[in-house]
Chains A and B, each alone.
Chain A
Amino acid sequence: MAEKYVGRSVKRTEDPRMIQGLAHYVDDIRLPDTLHAVFVRSIYAHARIKSVDVSEAKKAPGVVAVYIGQDVAKIGPVPCGAAIPDMKLPDHRVLASNKVYFVGHPVAVVVAEDKYAARDAADLIQVDYEELPVVMDEEKAAAKDSPVIHEQFGTNIAYKLTAGEGDIEAALKAADKIVRQKIVNQRLAPIAMEPRGVLARYYRGEQELTLWTSTQIPHMARTSIAVMLGMPENKLRLIAPEVGGGFGSKLNVYAEEALMGWISMQLDRPVKWIEGRRENMQATIHGRGQAGYIEVACKKDGTITGLRYNVFADMGSYFQLLTPAIPTLTGLMLSGCYKIPAIQMNVTATFTNKVATDAYRGAGRPEATFVIERALDLVAVELGLDPIAVRRKNFPAPFGAENPFKTATGLFYDSGDYELSLKKALEISNYDKLRADQKQARSEGRIVGIGLSTYVEICAIGPSSATPAGGWESATVRIEPTCKVTILTGASPHGQGQETSFAQIAGDHLGVNINDVTVIHGDTAIVQYGIGTFGSRGTAVGGTAVYMALEKLKAKATTLAAHLLQTEPGKVTFADGKFTAQGGKSVTIQEVALAAHLARNLPPDMEPGLSATSFFEPKNFTFPFGTHIAMVEIDRETGEIQFKRYVAVDDCGKVINPLLVHGQVHGGIVQSMGQALYEEVVYDDQGQLVSGTLMDYALPRATMIPWMELDRTETPSPVNPMGVKGVGEAGTIGATPAIVSAVVDALAPFGIRHLDMPIKPEAIWRIISKKSAGAA
């Protein structure tokens, strides 16, 4: 019996190159005669450009070219792939010309023989600005008397949208109680450890442009950049080499990518731009940025009858690829894992003098989950009910393919058993004992809290009808003459480990060793068109395409094997890499692969070779879910929060590699801890980015993170044949409300029912000090 790979914690095949420093990220790719680009970026949040003097910079040693907005006017606008009715679409150019709209807005680019020379020359560029009043607050931006960022629109309102079903007015009218709260999801910076980077090379004779860029969407980026540059798409080869993290920030098409291509075409030399961390904080998309108001209609027994969410969504000054679409994902997930008959979201999306928001890990769903989970907690507090009882009251019964769960946001959840993961998390955490411990601690004067979230997310994005540019994924599987297996995937993994998990799928399917499987991704000249990696779709959509291609391939191999064995395909069985006829005669898959390529003895209607391509179009999204429980203790003197326990039970359907799933969940939870307790993009009232370095933007470090106790339940998805749901964003979606809930619970004796994120020790210390002073 050959070793089975699927379901096992197989070590990653991509690791040896990474742990030895031998992987190639964009900046590690070296081409002779490469020029280096450095940007001059706006130091103001909103200003008119009166003049740009590049004369000194052009004369500086080593400088080859300097470009400003007027020079690059022929490059098409930076694309926005999302469309919302009556949406205002700003004309987003690769360099600013007349006005700058945020600190970090690119104004000029210097190209020089080396990066030191480029940096020196950039400092010689004189930009004369006339400062304009700034718009920093997403809610005030909508006011009639606000300064307007894009004058041609006469307003900062990018769009208004109402979504949801059911009679919310009736629900609010009939409610025993209406719970209200302002809920803020602060702006966050994705901070992939590898900043963005682009290397461009143009071959004039072949008229071929190659772009190496740190992206999650090589094919979509190729299409968009070819349009921007006005060149044939098939003359642009885009390669995502090793990508050092994305978290949504590289699910985009950026000005710098097109510009580097254009410059290499002008100068006939390779040109490279590597983003600095400060640039990354200023000019790579941010995430979240929603300030909303909830009204929850409920009955005395805790039954939720309606939810209204009126939200101001901070777009920033321009749209990037999916900027306006992110709040719509929030709207889709507002029902959480509860039966709520009436839901309404009213979005007012506004322009502000900040960099664009866009997809950051979870992309709209962490916001929704935070809203609905806070809502459930607040209902429990205000009705004097147990938060778990309120959740159970509103859970749907377990459901699956036969009886999908329909929400008032218009979705049909694929499968779920919310009680199952809740029960398991309560058992693992020994919840009753935690509560007893809390009671004991409080009697000793300690400040201890327990919080819980039962979440559901929308993943495996997604049906093409619900996505702007195709929601399918592609795969080609080839068996080479020597029986090595090559997989070409349209997914573009950048840390998720699909070189391993796809090899596991192929290994089991074909009875080959995973070390004989190579997974190729990210190169548009090698891989058939694909969509990319985001929205927890890599395995559920990309992996399914691999699975389907393998099925096709195996069917052909079976037919050929039957021919070689002089029998019918239906009379051949395949196991452990061997096709066996009923009489016991057999051929190995190696022999079949060779025969397919030698093509001397094929069935009359069979084409030579052994390769199959599939495009998988999912019929629905998948809906992973789970329960997270946090226990915290707060230091009375300093307000510091210490985790006592963190338990997570996640259900991402069938699992290919438990080790990788754990890694995804850990990382997701820690980004949640970042949002709940540490991270916050701060602009001052002049639009300066105060949190512009890693000194000022508090990323979680190892000492700030507790031991996480993970477990799973496994509810297969009916949407794809392997039953997988996806797990890349689960932790980021499920954990934030549990953590906030724990801190709020700890401070309940101080009269606290809700706190804004990030919950800093200072705020807690003030709460405790005020109460203590009042008591004294």
Chain B
Amino acid sequence: MKTTINVTVNGVTHQSEIEPRMLLVHYLRDALNLTGTHIGCETSLCGACTVMLDGQAVKSCTLLAVQADGAKVTTIEGMASGSNLHPVQQGFWEHHGLQCGFCTPGMIIAAAQLLERNPDPTDEEIRHGLEGNICRCTGYQHIVQAVQCAAKKMQSKTAVTS
């Protein structure tokens, strides 16, 4: 038995026939071939699968695709605008906020949400905001610096546009 869902992912609306038990992360990866969202634990503990669902960072390994019916999803592939990287992506690149890169998509999405809610976070607030995302490579310090860097970029951008 299949069910139909309508999901807008990175600005493109998809109508898909899926099994009701299909996980959102499998839908994104297998049905839409958006493989930038990774699976690290299948239990919402590591955060590698983090995506934006209607503006909220969620762990797509423990959501059903049917729960995204009618929603807007942003994955890592939708973070950059054309060839312009999102400031968080730029921060991660400039500050060596990634090594193996497997946690990075989820980490970037979580960091972007953190900065939306708190444009000028302290070191401690960044760490708290990323507590749901595990990185085994970097020891987090460069990630904290990457997010600080992104915050500065976003602030200066806001200052210019306003």
Decide whether A and B are members of one complex.
yes
Number of interface residues of B (CB under 8 A): 58
Query: B17 near A: Cβ within 8 Å?
Result: no
Query: B98 near A: Cβ within 8 Å?
Result: yes
| In-complex Cβ contact of A662 among B48, B124, B142 (8 A) | B142
Q: In the complex, how many angstroms separate the beta carbon of B71 from the nearest chain A beta carbon?
A: 19
Closest to A673 in B: B139
Bound state CA distance, A518 and B94, in angstroms? 20
Query: A577 near B: Cβ within 8 Å?
Result: no
Query: A637 near B: Cβ within 8 Å?
Result: no
Could you tell me if B139 and A670 are in contact, using CB atoms closer than 8 angstroms?
A: yes
Query: A384 near B: Cβ within 8 Å?
Result: no
Could you tell me if B104 and A18 are in contact, using CB atoms closer than 8 angstroms?
A: yes
Query: B45 near A: Cβ within 8 Å?
Result: yes
Knowing A194-B102, A244-B101, A663-B96, the reply to whether A24 touches B141 (Cβ < 8 A) is no
Query: B89 near A: Cβ within 8 Å?
Result: yes
| In-complex Cβ contact of A702 among B48, B101, B131 (8 A) | B131
Could you tell me if B141 and A705 are in contact, using CB atoms closer than 8 angstroms?
A: yes
Residues of A contacting B140 with CB < 8 Å? 666, 670, 700-702, 705
Knowing A28-B35, A193-B100, the reply to whether A15 touches B92 (Cβ < 8 A) is yes
Residues of A contacting B139 with CB < 8 Å? 663, 666-670, 700, 705, 708, 731
Could you tell me if B142 and A192 are in contact, using CB atoms closer than 8 angstroms?
A: no
Query: A695 near B: Cβ within 8 Å?
Result: yes
Knowing A11-B94, A244-B101, A496-B99, the reply to whether A21 touches B141 (Cβ < 8 A) is no
Within 8 A of B (CB), among A378-425: none
Bound state CA distance, A32 and B138, in angstroms? 36
Could you tell me if B100 and A27 are in contact, using CB atoms closer than 8 angstroms?
A: no
Bound state CA distance, A191 and B134, in angstroms? 11
Bound state CA distance, A277 and B29, in angstroms? 18
Q: In the complex, how many angstroms separate the beta carbon of B114 from the nearest chain A beta carbon?
A: 11
Within 8 A of B (CB), among A727-765: 731
Could you tell me if B41 and A21 are in contact, using CB atoms closer than 8 angstroms?
A: no
Residues of A contacting B126 with CB < 8 Å? 702
Closest to B103 in A: A193
| In-complex Cβ contact of A244 among B43, B100, B123, B141 (8 A) | B100
| In-complex Cβ contact of B40 among A28, A277, A497, A659 (8 A) | A277
Could you tell me if B134 and A694 are in contact, using CB atoms closer than 8 angstroms?
A: yes
| In-complex Cβ contact of A193 among B29, B36, B108, B136 (8 A) | B136
Could you tell me if B138 and A12 are in contact, using CB atoms closer than 8 angstroms?
A: no
Could you tell me if A242 and B93 are in contact, using CB atoms closer than 8 angstroms?
A: no
Query: A7 near B: Cβ within 8 Å?
Result: no
| In-complex Cβ contact of A667 among B33, B40, B99, B131 (8 A) | B99
Within 8 A of A (CB), among B22-44: 22, 26, 29, 33-43
Bound state CA distance, A663 and B126, in angstroms? 18
Could you tell me if A15 and B137 are in contact, using CB atoms closer than 8 angstroms?
A: no
Query: A195 near B: Cβ within 8 Å?
Result: yes
Query: A431 near B: Cβ within 8 Å?
Result: no
Residues of B contacting A274 with CB < 8 Å? 39
Q: In the complex, how many angstroms separate the beta carbon of B133 from the nearest chain A beta carbon?
A: 8
Contact with A along B115-137 (1 / 0, CB 8 A): 00000000110111011011111
Could you tell me if A12 and B96 are in contact, using CB atoms closer than 8 angstroms?
A: yes
Knowing A695-B43, A702-B126, the reply to whether A21 touches B105 (Cβ < 8 A) is yes
Knowing A20-B77, A669-B139, A694-B41, the reply to whether A703 touches B46 (Cβ < 8 A) is no
Bound state CA distance, A693 and B43, in angstroms? 8
Bound state CA distance, A458 and B76, in angstroms? 39
Query: B54 near A: Cβ within 8 Å?
Result: no
Query: A23 near B: Cβ within 8 Å?
Result: yes
Residues of A contacting B92 with CB < 8 Å? 15, 19
Bound state CA distance, A59 and B66, in angstroms? 29
Could you tell me if B102 and A245 are in contact, using CB atoms closer than 8 angstroms?
A: yes
Could you tell me if A20 and B76 are in contact, using CB atoms closer than 8 angstroms?
A: yes
Residues of A contacting B141 with CB < 8 Å? 666, 705, 707-708
Closest to B147 in A: A702
Query: A16 near B: Cβ within 8 Å?
Result: yes
Closest to A192 in B: B136
Q: In the complex, how many angstroms separate the beta carbon of A35 from the nearest chain B beta carbon?
A: 14
Query: A776 near B: Cβ within 8 Å?
Result: no
| In-complex Cβ contact of B100 among A11, A192, A195, A666 (8 A) | A192
Could you tell me if B19 and A495 are in contact, using CB atoms closer than 8 angstroms?
A: no
Could you tell me if B41 and A244 are in contact, using CB atoms closer than 8 angstroms?
A: no
Q: In the complex, how many angstroms separate the beta carbon of B56 from the nearest chain A beta carbon?
A: 19
Knowing A21-B77, A702-B143, the reply to whether A16 touches B40 (Cβ < 8 A) is no
Closest to B141 in A: A666
Residues of B contacting A24 with CB < 8 Å? 35
Bound state CA distance, A731 and B137, in angstroms? 12
Closest to A243 in B: B100
Knowing A116-B19, A663-B96, the reply to whether A20 touches B79 (Cβ < 8 A) is yes
Knowing A18-B104, A703-B127, the reply to whether A277 touches B41 (Cβ < 8 A) is yes
Contact with B along A23-56 (1 / 0, CB 8 A): 1110110100000000000000000000000000
Bound state CA distance, A743 and B89, in angstroms? 38
Q: Which of A19, A25, A663 has its CB near the most chain B CB atoms (within 10 A)?
A: A19
Bound state CA distance, A671 and B104, in angstroms? 18
Q: Which of B29, B38, B138, B140 has its CB near the most chain A CB atoms (within 10 A)?
A: B140
Residues of B contacting A278 with CB < 8 Å? 42
Query: B75 near A: Cβ within 8 Å?
Result: yes
Residues of B contacting A28 with CB < 8 Å? 29, 35
Closest to B138 in A: A667
Bound state CA distance, A667 and B137, in angstroms? 5
Bound state CA distance, A700 and B98, in angstroms? 16
Bound state CA distance, A167 and B43, in angstroms? 54
Query: A494 near B: Cβ within 8 Å?
Result: yes
Q: Which of A9, A28, A660 has its CB near the most chain B CB atoms (within 10 A)?
A: A28
Could you tell me if B131 and A703 are in contact, using CB atoms closer than 8 angstroms?
A: yes
Could you tell me if B45 and A694 are in contact, using CB atoms closer than 8 angstroms?
A: yes
Bound state CA distance, A662 and B88, in angstroms? 20
Residues of A contacting B131 with CB < 8 Å? 701-703
Could you tell me if B93 and A245 are in contact, using CB atoms closer than 8 angstroms?
A: no
Could you tell me if B135 and A193 are in contact, using CB atoms closer than 8 angstroms?
A: yes
Query: B58 near A: Cβ within 8 Å?
Result: no
Could you tell me if A694 and B21 are in contact, using CB atoms closer than 8 angstroms?
A: no
Bound state CA distance, A720 and B123, in angstroms? 40
Q: In the complex, how many angstroms separate the beta carbon of A36 from the nearest chain B beta carbon?
A: 10
| In-complex Cβ contact of A21 among B21, B36, B46, B138 (8 A) | B36
Query: B68 near A: Cβ within 8 Å?
Result: no
Bound state CA distance, A671 and B140, in angstroms? 11
Bound state CA distance, A15 and B134, in angstroms? 19
Query: A298 near B: Cβ within 8 Å?
Result: no
Residues of B contacting A22 with CB < 8 Å? 36, 77
Q: In the complex, how many angstroms separate the beta carbon of B148 from the nearest chain A beta carbon?
A: 12
Q: In the complex, how many angstroms separate the beta carbon of B120 from the nearest chain A beta carbon?
A: 18
Query: A643 near B: Cβ within 8 Å?
Result: no
Could you tell me if A20 and B85 are in contact, using CB atoms closer than 8 angstroms?
A: yes
Could you tell me if B134 and A193 are in contact, using CB atoms closer than 8 angstroms?
A: yes
Query: A699 near B: Cβ within 8 Å?
Result: yes
Bound state CA distance, A242 and B101, in angstroms? 9
Bound state CA distance, A667 and B136, in angstroms? 7
Q: In the complex, how many angstroms separate the beta carbon of B34 from the nearest chain A beta carbon?
A: 7
Contact with B along A698-718 (1 / 0, CB 8 A): 011111010110000000000
Could you tell me if A694 and B43 are in contact, using CB atoms closer than 8 angstroms?
A: yes
Could you tell me if A193 and B123 are in contact, using CB atoms closer than 8 angstroms?
A: no
- Show 6 A/B contacts (Cβ-Cβ < 8 Å), sorted by A: A19-B89, A21-B34, A195-B40, A667-B137, A668-B139, A671-B136
| A-B contact sample (15 more), CB < 8 A, given A16-B85, A28-B29 | A11-B96, A15-B93, A21-B77, A27-B39, A30-B33, A191-B136, A192-B136, A497-B99, A667-B136, A693-B45, A694-B134, A699-B134, A702-B127, A702-B133, A731-B139
4 closest residue pairs by CB, A with B: A21-B36, A244-B102, A18-B101, A495-B100
